[in-house]
Amino acid sequence: MDTYVSITVVSESEQVSQDAIEQAFAAIETFGNRINFYSDKSELAMINRSAGTAGVSVSTETLDIIDKALFVADASNGAFDPTIGPLIQLWNFHEPVKPHPDDIKNRLPLVNYRHVSIDKDGDVVMLKEKNMLLDLGGIAKGYAADIAVDVLKKNGISSGLVVIAGDIRTFGSKPGGKPWNIGIRNPRQKNRADEIIAKMQLTDKAISTSGDYERFFIQDGVRYHHLLNPGTGFPAMTIRSVSIIADKGVFADAFSTAVFVLGPEKGMDLVNKMNMEAVIIDNNGTIYTTEALKDKLYFEKID
Amino acid sequence: MQSQDKYRIAVLAAYALALHGFEYLLPTPIPWFRLGLANIITLVALTLYGFSTAMSVTLIRVILASIFTGTFLGPAFLLSLSGGVSSTAAMGLIYAVQRNLFGPVGLSLIGALFHNIAQLTLAYFLFIQRIEAILIISPLVIFIGVLTGFANGVVADILIKNILKKDGETIHNVTRD
Amino acid sequence: MKKSIKNTTIADRVLFFVLIACSIAGMVIVQEAIPQGAYVNIEIDGSLAYTFPLDSDRIVPVSTPDGDMIIEIKDEKVRVSESDCPKKFCVSQGWIAKGAIICLPNKTVILVEQGMPYSEKKLDAISG
C-alpha cells in the first residue's frame, strides 16, 4: 500500500514475530495491488474499465471489501459511497484548483452505490452505468489492517498493533496485560506540543480518523479537502475530524468517512445506531463523544 | 501626611533604591541568589515609623528601580512588586499582631519567606505553569532566602539601635529587654 | 553584630531553625524525587517547543518572543550557554543532568524529563 504501515507484535520468539510480520506485510501488499484506484493492473481498475458493459470476476478479498463498502453506504444512506470515483478524479489536491461546478454536476449522477451489483456465488462485481468508478480509498486502509491482524493471528501472534496511516487495529494486550495507548491527532496543530487532542486505551478494537487536514488546499479562506460529500460533490464542511472506534478496522475506516459527511448530529445518531464509539471535532473545535467514551478519554491541554 | 513623614519616606526610599541598585550591579554567583538588601530599609521603616511608611518606601523603591532599569510594568517589575508588597505586608501584619514576639531578625526571615513565596507563585501563574519546575527550585530559593533574610535582619537590628541612640527619640514600641 | 544575634528573641531563633530544616528537607526530597531524565523538553511561554534526547549532543538556538538563547546538550547534560536576558541566571546555573533550568525573562523552562512530552507520553500509535 502506498502509505505508512507499522506492525508491532508481542511474542516471546523473535523468529515467530519476524515471520508473522513479513507475512502480514505481504498480505497488505497483495491486497493493496488488487484495489489500487490508480493502477491499470488492479482488479478495481478492471471493474472500472468494464463499467456499464460487463461484470468482472474478482478475488474473494476484493468482493468482500466491496460488499462491506456497500453495507456502509446503505447504513449511512449514501454519506459513504464507494462509487465516488468520478468526483475524486475531478478534485486534484496537488494543485489548489476548484473543479468547475458544471463538471461536478455532470458527474454527480454517476455516484450511486445502488448501481453496483455483486454476485457472491460467482465472485462477480459489476458497475451498471458507463463511466462509473469504484474508489475504495475511504475503506481500504481499515480493511488492510484487518487483513494484517488475521494473518498475524494465523501465524501464532496473540497480541499486536497494526497502524496503516491513521487507521489502527489493536488486538490482545501489551506485555504485562496493559492495553494499548492510542492518541487522536489534533486536527489543528500549531506545534508538536499539541500533536494529539486526546488519548485512550484500547484492546481488541480498531480506531480510524478522518480529518480535513490530510489532503487539502485553502482558497479564499475556505479549506477544500478530500472528504467529499457524495450528494453535492463538494467537501463536507461541518467537521474537522471524526474518530470511530469499532471492532473491525474496515468499519471504523468507512464509518469515519460517513460520519464526517453527515455532520456532528446525524453522524452521532449513526454511530449510536451502529453501536460504535466516536470522537467528533466540529468546525468550531467543539468535541463530541459517545456516552461510553466519556470516562475513557483523556484530553490533552491545548490553547 | 505631615511634611516630616514625606521627608522621611523620601530619604528611606532613596536609601532603599540605592541598595536595590547596588545589588542589581553585583554579580550573582548562584542562580536565584538575591541579597534583598532593600528589605533592610523596609524593616527599619516598619519598626521605627510604622506600616504605611514601610509600604510607601517599598512601592517607591520598586517603581523607581523598574523605571531606571527600563523594566517598568514588565515581568521583572511584576515579580519585584509582588515580592516587595507581600513581604512588607507579612512583616507589617506580624508586627502589628505580635509586636514583641519577633525581633528584626525574625521579621526579616518572615519578609524573605513571603517575598519568595509570592514570587514563586506569580512565576507559576504568569510564566512557567509547570508545577514540577517550581517545586524543584522552591526549597533552594527559600533556603537562600533564610540566609540572606537572617543577615539582613542583623544589619537592620544594628541600624535601628544606632538610629534610636542618635535620635534620642524614645520609641517605646521597639525597646525590649 | 554578636550583640544583635544575642538579642534575637526565642521566636526568631525557632523560626530560623525551622525554616532552615524545612528548606534543607525540601531540597533533599526534591533531589531524590527528580527522576533521571532521558529527554530535554524546552517549553516557551507555557507550551512545549522542542524535545531532544539527552544522549545526543547538539547546540540549539532558541528564539522566544522575549529574547534569544542558545541551549547546549552534551554528555547527557544540558545548559544554557548564551541568553540575552538581563541577569543570565539560566546561564550561571551551568550544566544540569536532571531537574530544570528556568529563564523567567524569556518565559522558558528547560526540563530534563523521563519521557517524551506529555502529549506523546507512552503512546503506541496516533490515529489521524
More confident call, A293 vs A57: A57
- Average pLDDT on A30-59 reads 94
Whether residue B130 and residue C45 make contact (CB cut-off 8 A), yes or no, is: no
Closest CA of chain C from B130, distance in Å: 8
Dihedral over Cα of B164, B165, B171, B173: its sign: positive
Closest CA of chain C from A300, distance in Å: 7
Q: Does C123 contact chain A (CB < 8 Å)?
A: yes
Query: In this predicted model, what pLDDT tens digit does every residue of B107-127 receive, in sequence order?
Result: 999 999 999 999 999 988 887
Whether residue C89 and residue B32 make contact (CB cut-off 8 A), yes or no, is: yes
Query: In this predicted model, what pLDDT tens digit does every residue of B60-103 receive, in sequence order?
Result: 999 998 998 888 888 788 988 999 999 999 999 999 998 889 99
Q: Does C120 contact chain A (CB < 8 Å)?
A: yes
Q: How confident is the model at residue B26, as a pLDDT?
A: 76
Question: Which of B110, B137, B158 has its CB closest to that of C1?
Answer: B158
Query: In this predicted model, what pLDDT tens digit does every residue of C11-59 receive, in sequence order?
Result: 999 999 999 999 999 988 887 877 777 888 888 877 777 777 788 788 8
Neighbours of chain C (3+ CB pairs under 8 A): A, B
Whether residue C27 and residue B150 make contact (CB cut-off 8 A), yes or no, is: no
Extract the runs of DSSP E, i.e. beta strands, from A87-238: 116-119, 124-127, 159-164, 167-171, 180-185, 196-202, 206-211, 216-219, 222-225
Can you spell out the DSSP letters for B22-78? HHHHS--SSTT----THHHHHHHHHHHH-HHHHHHHHHHHHHHHHHHTT-TTSHHHH
Question: Which of C7, C11, C90 has its CB closest to that of B101?
Answer: C11
The residue whose grid cell reads 500533536 is A195
Dist. CA B75–CA B69, nearest whole Å:
12
Q: Whose CA is closest to A200, among A170, A163, A164, A241?
A: A170
Dist. CA A257–CA B157, nearest whole Å:
77
Q: Is A223 exposed, middle or buried (0-12, 13-18, 19+ CB in 10 A)?
A: middle
Whether residue C128 and residue A300 make contact (CB cut-off 8 A), yes or no, is: no
Contacts of C102 in chain B (CB under 8 A): 123, 128, 133, 137
Give me the total of CB pairs closer than 8 Å, taking one residue from chain B and one from chain C: 116
Decide: helix, strand or coil at residue B165.
Answer: helix
Interface predicted TM-score (ipTM) of this complex, two decimals: 0.85
Collect all residues from C whose CB is shorter than 8 A from any CB in B.
1, 4-5, 7-9, 11-12, 15-16, 19-20, 22-27, 29-30, 34, 43, 45-46, 66, 86-87, 89-90, 92-93, 99-100, 102, 104-105, 107, 109, 111
Phi, psi of C58 (to 5 degrees): -165, 165
pLDDT above 90 covers what percent of chain C? 23
Query: In this predicted model, what pLDDT tens digit does every residue of A210-237 receive, in sequence order?
Result: 999 888 888 888 889 999 999 999 999 9
Dist. CA A101–CA A238, nearest whole Å:
20
Give the distance, in angstroms, between the CA of residue B12 and the centroid of all CA atoms in the same chain: 12
* Banded model confidence at residue A96, pLDDT cuts 50, 70, 90: confident
Closest CA of chain A from C20, distance in Å: 37
pTM of the model: 0.56
Q: Does C65 contact chain A (CB < 8 Å)?
A: no
